[in-house]
Chain A
Amino acid sequence: MESVKMNSNKEGARIGFYVCHCGHNIASVVDCKAVAEYVSKLPGVVVSRDYKYMCSDPGQELIMNDIKEQKLNRIVVASCSPLLHEHTFRNATEKGGLNPYLCQMVNIREHDSWVHSDRAAATLKAKEMARAAIQRVTHHHKLETKKVPIRPSVLVVGGGIAGIHAALTLANAGKQVYLVEREPTIGGHMAKFDKTFPTLDCAACILTPKMSEVGSHPNIKLMTYSEVVKVDGYVGNYTITVKHKPRYIIEEACVGCTECINACIYTTAKFPDEFNEGLGKRKPIYMPFPQATPQIVVIDPQTCIQIKTGKCKKTCLEACLDRKAIDFNQKERFSEIQVGAIVIATGFKTFDAHRIPQYGYGKYPNVFTALEIERMVNASGPTGGHVVMRDGSEPKSIGIVHCVGSRDKKTNHYCSRVCCMYSLKLAHLLKEHSGAEIYNFYIDMRTPGKSYEEFYDKLLNEGVNFIRGRVGEVTDWAFIPEEEGKLIIRVEDTLAGYVRRIPVDMVVLSTGLEHQPDADAVRRMFNMSCGSEGFFLERHPKLAPVNTFTDGILLAGCCQGPKDIPDTVAQAGAAAAEALVLIDKGYIEQEPNTAFVREEDCSGCKSCIPLCPYSAISFDEQKKKANINEALCKGCGTCVASCPSGSIVQNLFEDEEIFSEIEGLLLDNINEKFAQGKTTQEVLAK
C-alpha cells in the first residue's frame, strides 16, 4: 500500500486538544465530537475533548486541569479567530503552568463553519486544520514577551467636538496632548450648528467653553491650520510630522483684536464666508467666527491683493504697527512631535446636494442645504436669524427633504443616522423663526435615542406636516395655476396612498454624512482600514469600537461612521480612555514574533538592512554579521523572506513550524484516501 509518512512528532510531546462548539456557531456545521475523536488518535495527543464554550471559565479550567493531571506540554484549541481568544487560551495555558506560546489556535469558525454549509465537508476541513495545528505545535518552544516603554503623550487629529473632547479628557488626566486641526479654528461642524437636538440648547453655548479650555489648557499644544503629513514608528513610539500652513500671521504676536480686519483695503466684505456656508461674506483677512479658537486672524492668499499681486496699500500692516503680527512672507513649515498613541477624529463632510440634480440644488435659488439653514436660523448668522429666501422675502411654506444622499444605492447606501433628528430640529426652528407651513418628507422616521421620540412627538403636536415618502423631484413646472411660480415637490404620500404635488416657497435638503474626501490618504498614513462606505473601520463593531487594527491608533466621532453629538462625545471619551490604558501601563508587551539572525549562517551580504521598514537591522562590523534589534523589530517577516542564505528566523514562524503545518494539512488526507483503496490518480483527481 502506498503511503506518505506523517511527520513524526518531536520526542515526548503530550498534546491536549480542545474543540469548541461555540454554541451553535460551530457545532451546527461541524461535527465537533467527530473532530475530537479523530484528533484523539493522532500521534502525541493525550487528551482530546469537545466542549460547548471553551472560552468560558469551565472551558479554560479544562485546559488548566488537564495540563496538571495529564502532564500536557502542548495545547491546541480549535474555536474562533485568534483575534478574539488567542489571548484567553494563552492565558489559560500559562495558568496551567506552561509557557503561553506552547498553545496554538485553529480557527474553525470564521474559516470553516461560518463560510460553509456542507456539514461533512466542513467537518473534514476542521479535522485537517486541527491536524495541521497538532503537527505544528510540537515544534513550538518557550518564548518570552518583551516590554517596550510608551511615550506618555497623545496626538489628536481633528478639532471638532470629538477631538476637543478627547483632547480635554487626556489633558485633564495629566497627559501631554497635541491637537492638530486643518482649519484656522477648532470647533468643526458643531460650531456651525444653531441648536442641538433634542434639548434645543444652543450649540455655541455648550461648545465654546470647551473650545477656549482647549486653547488655554497647559497640557494641550494646539496646532491649527496644520495637517499631519507623515507618521513613523509604532504603538508607544510614534514620530509625527506636521505641516503648518501659512496663515500670514505670526500666531504668537496676534491677540485677535481684529483691527487689521477693519483696516483692510476692502471696506466691505466681498468673498463667500466658509463658516456661513457662503450665505455671508468676509474679507481676505478675517476671523472665521467671533469665538474662533485660537483668537488669531487668518489671511486668505486666494483673495488678498498683497499676496496675489504685491500691490496693496497694506492698510492692515499699519493697523498692526504695535504688534507686527502680519507677515506676508510666511511659508509653510514642518515640525516633528513624538507621541505614544493617536486619536483620529477627522470627522465627516456633508453630502454634496448637486449630486442629485432632481432636487434642484444649484438650479433653483430657493433650494438650500440643511447646513445653510443652520447658519440662517442662527442669531449671529448671516441673516441675523431671519429665515429669508435668496431674494430677501419670507417663505410661507417650506419643504424639508430627508435622506438626501442616504439610503440610496446610487449615492450612499447607508443611513446617515442624524438627518431625521436634525430635520425635526430645523422644522421646529424654521417654524419658530418664520411661522411658515412646514412639510417634512421622510422615508422612515428614525428617532432611536434618549428623548428623541419625545422630540418627534413634540413636533407632531406643533403642527408640522409629516409626509411619509421619498421626494421624487423638486421642480418648477406646474400642473395647475396655483402651482405657478412655486417649487413643486413631487412625492407619494405612502401612508395616505396618494401621489401628491406640494407647492412650497423654500426647500431644505437634509444632506447625509460622508467620509472626508481625503479619508483614503489618511487611512494609508495611519495604517487603518476603511469600510465599504469609506469611513474608518473599527477593530470590532461591538467589542472594540474605538480601536483600529493598528495598536495605539484610536477612532472618535464621525470619521468612524455617522453619529450624533452624544455618541460622538461618548466615543471620544472612550478613545481617550483607551489611550490612557496604553499610556498608564507605562510599557507595552510585544508579541515575541521577532526575527533573529543565526550568525553561523549569515554571510554578511547586508541585503536585509535596507529592506527593514523599522530600521531594526544593523551590521556588526567586527563579526561581519547582521544584527536585529529585538526592541525595534515588529515581526513583519520581510527580512526572513529576503535572506539569501536563510539565516534569519522568526519566532512563531520558524520553517519547521510552517512546513509541518502544511504537511499536516495535506499529507494525512492523502493517506486516508490511499487507505480507502484509491489509486494515486483518483487521489490527485480530487
Chain B
Amino acid sequence: MKYAYYPGCSIQGTGRAYEESLLPVLKELNIDFEELEDWNCCGATAYMSVDEIKSCVLASRNFALAEKFGYAEIMAPCSACYLVLNKAQKYIETSKPVAETVEKALSSANLKMTKKIKVRHPIDILLNDIGLEKIKQHVKRPLKEFKVATYYGCQLVRPYSTFDDQYNPTSMDRILKALGATVVYFPIKTRCCGSSLTGTLPEPGLFCAYIILKEAIKRGANVISTACPLCQFNLDGYHDKIEKKWGNVRIPTLYFTQLMGLAFGISEEELGINRCIIPLNIQSNQTVSA
C-alpha cells in the first residue's frame, strides 16, 4: 500500500532533519510513499486557539486531497499534525454541525470527504506494518553505546491512544531496542515539553524542557529520542537559556529516525545530525555486523 506522506510545516522548516532522516529510513525499509500533493497546514495548536472549526476544515482539505488522489492512509510524522488530523476526524464524526460546515466548505472547492482516511504515525507503521524483525534485519551498526531516553511528548498518545498505551507508551522503546540501543527507565516520557510556550512565554516553556533534560541525564541516558519536530526544537534549541537559569543539562536530542538511520549505516550528514545544536558525541560501534 502507498502511504500519502504529509510532512507538515515544521518538518520542512526548523525540523528538516526529521524529514532528512525519515525518508532514507523509509526507503531502506522499502516503504512505499508519496508526498501528498499541495498539502496545507493541518490547523495546529495555535490555529485552534483562534478558530476550531476552521482548523477542522484545514485538516479536512488534506483528507479530501488524499481521497482525490486515491490514498487510504496518511502518514503524519509530526505529533501535532498527527493529533490535529485525528482530532478533526473525531469532531466531524461526533458533531453534525461541524460535519455539515466541513462538507459545505469543501464542496465550494469541488472537494469531498466520503471515506475515512486513516492517519498513521511513522512509529505505528514501522512497528505494525513493517515489524521489528524486518527492522532488525537492516541493522548494520547496532547502537550499543546509546543509552536512550525515549521521549514521546504529549500529543502522540494523547488524547487518542491510537496505537500505544496512553500512560506508558512503549512503541519507540521497542524499535530502539531492536536497533541494539539501551532504553533507560524514563518516567516522564509523555510529559509536555512546553514547546508551544517557549517562543511566547519563555520561563514556563523552558522549565518544562529543563525537567525533561535533567531527568534524562539522571536516568543515565546519553541521548534523548523524539518523534516530534516541536519537541526536538524545544529540547535542543535553548540550552544556553536553560543553563543560565537552572544549570547545565546538555544532552543531545535526536529524532528516532536519525537513530534508526545511524543503525542502518546511513551517514550522519545524510541524516541531518549536524543540524542539532547540541552535538551528538557518542561514538557508535563501527564494526559492521552482517
Bound Cα distance A477, B188 (Å): 8
B162-197 interface (Cβ within 8 A of A): 167-168, 187-188
- Interface centre among A358, A475, A476, A477, by most chain B C-beta atoms within 10 angstroms, is A477
Give the Cβ gap from A352 to chain B, nearest Cβ, in Å. 15
- Tell me the nearest residue of chain A to B188, going by C-beta: A477
Instruction: Contacts A357-B168, A358-B167 given; indicate if A475 touches B211 (C-beta within 8 A).
Output: no
> Nearest A residue to B165 by beta-carbon distance?
A357
CB contacts (< 8 Å) of B188 on chain A: these are 475, 477
CB distance from B169 to the nearest CB of A (A): 11
Residues of A within 8 A of B124 (CB): none
* Binding site secondary structure of chain B: loop
Distance, CA A206 to CA B167, complexed state (A): 43
The reply on B52 being an interface residue by CB < 8 A is no
- For B187, the chain A residues whose CB sits under 8 A away are 475-477
Instruction: Enumerate B199-242 residues with CB–CB distance to A below 8 Å.
Output: 211, 215, 218
Residue A479 interfacial (CB < 8 Å): yes
A contacts with B, residue count (CB < 8 A) = 6
* Identity of the chain A residue whose Cβ is nearest the Cβ of B167 in the assembled complex: A357
Binary flags per residue of B67-98, CB closer than 8 Å to A gives 1, else 0: 00000000000000000000000000000000
Chain A 477-505 interface mask (CB, 8 Å, partner B; 1/0): 10100000000000000000000000000
B78 to chain A, nearest CB (A): 26
Chain A residues numbered 604-645 whose CB sits less than 8 Å from any CB in chain B: none
Contact call B168/A477, Cβ cutoff below 8 A: no
Query: In the complex, A357 Cα to B168 Cα: how many Å?
Result: 8
- Min Cβ gap A525→B in Å is 36
Instruction: Please give the distance in Å from A629's CB to the nearest CB on chain B.
Output: 57
Count chain B residues whose beta carbon lies closer than 8 angstroms to a beta carbon of A. 7
In the bound complex, how far is the Cα of B211 from the Cα of A479, in angstroms?
Answer: 7
Please measure, in the bound complex, the distance between the C-alpha atom of A476 and the C-alpha atom of B188, giving whole angstroms: 10
Measured CA separation A264–B211 after assembly (Å): 54
Q: How far is the CB of B235 from chain A (nearest CB, A)?
A: 16
Chain B residues with Cβ below 8 Å from A475 are 187-188
Residues facing B in A344-384 (CB within 8 A) are 357-358
Q: Which chain B residue has the least Cβ–Cβ distance from A356?
A: B167
Tell me, rounded to whole Å, the shortest Cβ–Cβ distance linking B90 to chain A.
18
- Measured CB to CB, the nearest residue on chain A to B186 is A477
User: Complex: how many Å from CA A553 to CA B167?
Assistant: 43
CA distance A476 to B187 in the complex (A): 8
* Residue numbers in B under 8 Å from A479 (CB-CB): 211
> Nearest B residue to A358 by beta-carbon distance?
B167
* Chain B residue nearest to A479 in the complex (CB): B211
**A11 vs chain B, min Cβ distance (A):** 59
B167 touches A477 (CB 8 A): no
A475 to B168: give the CA distance in the assembly, Å.
13
Cα distance, A547 to B101, chains bound together (Å): 54
Q: What's the minimum C-beta distance from A484 to chain B, rounded to whole angstroms?
A: 8
Question: Hey, which chain B residues are within 8 Å of A357, CB to CB?
Answer: 167-168
- A17 CB to closest chain B CB, in angstroms? 46
How many Å lie between the Cα of A477 and that of B151 in the bound state?
15
How far, in angstroms, from A477 to B167 measured CA to CA in the complex? 16
Q: How far is the CB of A476 from chain B (nearest CB, A)?
A: 6
- Residues of A close to B168: CB separation below 8 A: 357
A-side contacts of B211, CB under 8 Å = 477, 479
Chain A residues in 8 Å Cβ range of B215 = 477
Which residue of A is nearest B207, CB measured?
A479
Shortest CB-to-CB span from B208 to chain A, Å, is 11
Q: Shortest beta-carbon distance, B264 to chain A, in Å? A: 33
Separation in Å of the B224 CB from the closest CB of chain A?
Answer: 14
Instruction: Give the complex CA separation of A358 and B187 in angstroms.
Output: 10
Identity of the chain B residue whose Cβ is nearest the Cβ of A477 in the assembled complex: B215
Residues of chain B with a CB closer than 8 A to A477's CB: 187-188, 211, 215, 218
Of the candidates B187, B188, B215, the one having the most CB atoms from chain A within 10 angstroms of its own CB is B187
A475 to B211 Cα, complex, angstroms: 13
Bound Cα distance from A479 to B210, whole angstroms? 10
- A405–chain B nearest beta-carbon distance, Å: 15
Whole-angstrom distance from the CB of A500 to the nearest CB of chain B?
16
In the complex, A221 Cα to B181 Cα: how many Å?
Answer: 63
Bound CA span A427–B188, Å:
30
B161 to chain A, nearest CB (A): 12
| Per-residue B-contact encoding for A272-296, CB less than 8 Å = 1, 0 else | 0000000000000000000000000
CB-CB under 8 A from B167, the residues of chain A are 357-358
A503 to chain B, nearest CB (A): 15
- Interface digits, A646-661 against B, CB 8 Å rule (1 contact, 0 not)? 0000000000000000
- A476: chain B residues within 8 A (beta carbon): 187
Cα of A118 to Cα of B187 in the assembled complex, Å: 56
The docked-state distance in angstroms from the alpha carbon of A592 to that of B211 is 76
The CA of A358 and the CA of B215, in the complex, are separated in Å by 17
- Inter-chain CA distance A475–B218, complex, in Å, is 14
Closest to A360 in B: B187
The answer for the CA separation of A55 and B187 in the assembled complex, in Å, is: 64
Q: How far is the CA of A479 from the CA of B188 in the complex (A)?
A: 12
A358 to B165, CA, bound (A): 12
- Shortest Cβ distance from residue B135 to the other chain A in the assembled complex, whole angstroms: 27
B236 CB to nearest A CB, Å = 20
Distance of A475 Cα from B185 Cα, bound (Å): 13
A431-453: contact bitstring with B at CB < 8 Å (1 yes, 0 no)? 00000000000000000000000
Report B77 CB to chain A, min CB distance, Å: 27
Report the minimal beta-carbon distance from B71 to chain A, rounded to whole angstroms. Answer: 35
CB distance from B79 to the nearest CB of A (A): 21
Q: Min CB distance, A252 to chain B, in Å?
A: 52
Give B136-173 interface residues, CB cut-off 8 Å to A: 167-168
Q: How many angstroms between the C-alpha atoms of A475 and B191 in the bound complex?
A: 12
Report the Cα distance A19→B166, complex, angstroms. 57
User: Distance in Å from the Cβ of A501 to the closest Cβ of chain B?
Assistant: 12
Quick one: closest A residue to B166, CB to CB? A357
Q: How far is the CB of B212 from chain A (nearest CB, A)?
A: 9
A411 to chain B, nearest CB (A): 13
Q: In the bound complex, how far is the Cα of B166 from the Cα of A358, in angstroms? A: 11
Residue ID in chain B nearest A473 by CB atoms? B187
Known: A475-B187, A476-B187. 9 other contacts (CB 8 A): A357-B167, A357-B168, A475-B188, A477-B187, A477-B188, A477-B211, A477-B215, A477-B218, A479-B211
The 4 closest A-B pairs by CB, nearest first: A357-B167, A477-B215, A477-B187, A477-B188
What are 10 pairs between A and B in contact, CB < 8 Å? A357-B167, A357-B168, A358-B167, A475-B188, A477-B187, A477-B188, A477-B211, A477-B215, A477-B218, A479-B211
